Amino acid sequence: MDNLTHSLFAATLARTPLGRAGRGTASALILASNAPDIDIIAASGGALRYLEWHRGPTHGPLGIVGLGLVTAGLVWAGRRVLDRRRAAEHASYLSLAAAAVTGVLLHVLMDVPTSYGTRLLSPFDWHWYAIDVMPIVDVYLLVVLSLGLGLGLGSEAARRRSATIVLGMMVANYGLRGAAHERALRLAPGVFGALPERCDPVPPSGPIVDRWPRRPSPQPAAGEVNRCLVEIAALPTFRTPFAWRLIAQLSDGYEIRNVNVADGFGAAAGTVAGVQEGAERVPNEWTPSVFAAARTDVGQRFLGFSRFPAARAFVDPDGATTVRWSETRFIGAPALPGQRDRRLRLFTATVRVGADGRILGRRLGP
């Protein structure tokens, strides 16, 4: 989730019993709810360093506890320096620590349901985890949180009442998106039409939380047509909870379709009336040059981040090969203002491999 959503949610929590421990609790909640994104400082070392640490240990168990305790200490000390006259009303350090750790934990838990995901167990496990029911920015959630804070400016009872209503609407929003996500997955076979058999003869049971990176899918040999299906994912969009991007990962590429599940809620599960324009095929070809490029620092960092990496290799007349990966989740997906440049910088990677196998150049970005 974006930092504005985290801040508004923390301010809403400060109106619940969690915020009644004393002065400073609201500040601790708001600061702690943004603390995990302190990993932005890694960007000072360049895009590659940022990608290495992005949503890493600050979003894991050590970060949840450590950032919570540090935030509580800063608020506790700051209150005693800046607000000495009302020292008797200050929350204790333990109360601030409980609130701050809760704020950091809820930040991480709000990141997991997004299709962007987070490294929930780092540094013990560097895999990414995601549930795919929320976009990285949910405008509806922002509106609900903003209105709730604006309408609860009266009495203490009004603030508590507005917080209860907002939290209830948040639960409803998550529930609606969860139901729409399941509906999109049920519609997927009809949307894609004829798909090859699964690579794994025993299909997965459909875990709630997806996990990556994975090993590259098995590639059909040259001249063969025995493609297979790795998985199908349904990703949310920014505009409406009912519009979804379906990605079918095949052994040699990706098929992408857009579907609006609201158009088929009254029909059978296989109905495809909600299929929209935007069908696309993205090749994914793992040649020896691609595997060589994958062993570089750029390849390792990018493939450690990318959930659906699409590899292409282009051979120059001199025999050198340009290997380019793109993150399929963001190919052709609508971008919020200011996101396009960030996508080009972080969600593509390029490596040049010489005819003799030497690495001639590498970088993030197109």
Tokens of 81: 């320096």
Spell out the residues 6+ positions from residue 32 whose beta carbon is closer than 8 angstroms to its own.
Answer: 10, 67, 68, 71, 72, 99, 100, 101, 102, 103, 104, 107
Beta strands in 153-242 (DSSP E): 210-212, 229-236
Taking only the tens place, the pLDDT of each residue in 3-18 is 999 999 999 999 998 8
Average pLDDT over residues 40-61: 93
What is the mean pLDDT of the segment spanning 132-137?
95
Using the 8-state DSSP alphabet, how is residue 93 labeled? H
Q: Across residues 264-282, what is the average pLDDT?
A: 57
Global confidence as pTM: 0.88
Q: Does 330 have pLDDT greater than 90? A: no
Mean pLDDT of 258-262: 93
Q: Structure tokens of 271? A: 């109905």
The pLDDT assigned to 267 comes to 43
More confident residue, 78 or 279: 78
pLDDT at 115: 93
pLDDT at 113: 96
Question: 155 with 162: CB under 8 angstroms?
Answer: no
203-241 exposure pattern, b = at least 16 Cβ within 10 A, e = fewer: eeeeeeebebbeebbeeeeeeeeebbbbbbbbbbbbeeb
Residue 24 pLDDT > 50: yes
| Alpha carbon distance 332, 212 (integer Å) | 22
Q: pLDDT tens across 206-240, in order?
A: 568 899 997 665 555 554 557 899 999 999 999 89
Closest CA to 3 of 25, 51, 35: 35
Average pLDDT estimate for 87-114: 93
Dump strand ranges (E) for 261-358: 275-283, 309-315, 321-327, 348-353
Q: Letter for the amino acid at 169? A: M
Query: Which uninterrupted H or E stretch holds 361?
Result: strand 359-364
Could you tell me if residue 334 is left (phi over 0), alpha (psi between -120 and 50 degrees) or otherwise beta? beta
Q: Are 156 and 138 in contact (CB under 8 A)?
A: no
What does the pLDDT read at residue 271? 46
At residue 269, the pLDDT reads 42
**Tokens 């990176």 found at:** 213
Question: Within a 10 A sphere around the Cβ of 67, how many other Cβ atoms?
Answer: 25
Q: Which of 146, 167, 148 is nearest to 158 (CA)?
A: 148
Higher pLDDT residue, 230 or 346?
Answer: 230
The larger pLDDT score, comparing residue 197 to residue 275, is at 197
pLDDT at 143 over 90: yes
Q: pLDDT for 151-182, tens place per residue?
A: 877 788 888 999 999 999 999 999 999 999 99
pLDDT band for position 79 (cuts 50, 70, 90): confident
Residue 336 has pLDDT above 60, yes or no: no
Does residue 268 have a pLDDT over 50? no
Q: Say if residues 310 and 334 touch (Cβ distance below 8 Å).
A: no
337 has a pLDDT exceeding 80: no
Is residue 35 scored above 60 in pLDDT? Answer: yes
pLDDT of residue 365: 78
Return the higher-pLDDT residue of 151 and 246.
246
What average pLDDT does the structure give for the chain? 87
* DSSP track, 22-58: SBTHHHHHHHHHHGGGGGGGGGGG-HHHHHHHTTSGG
Average pLDDT over residues 339-344: 50
Q: How far apart are CA 361 and CA 363, in angstroms?
A: 7
Q: 205 pLDDT exceeds 90? A: no
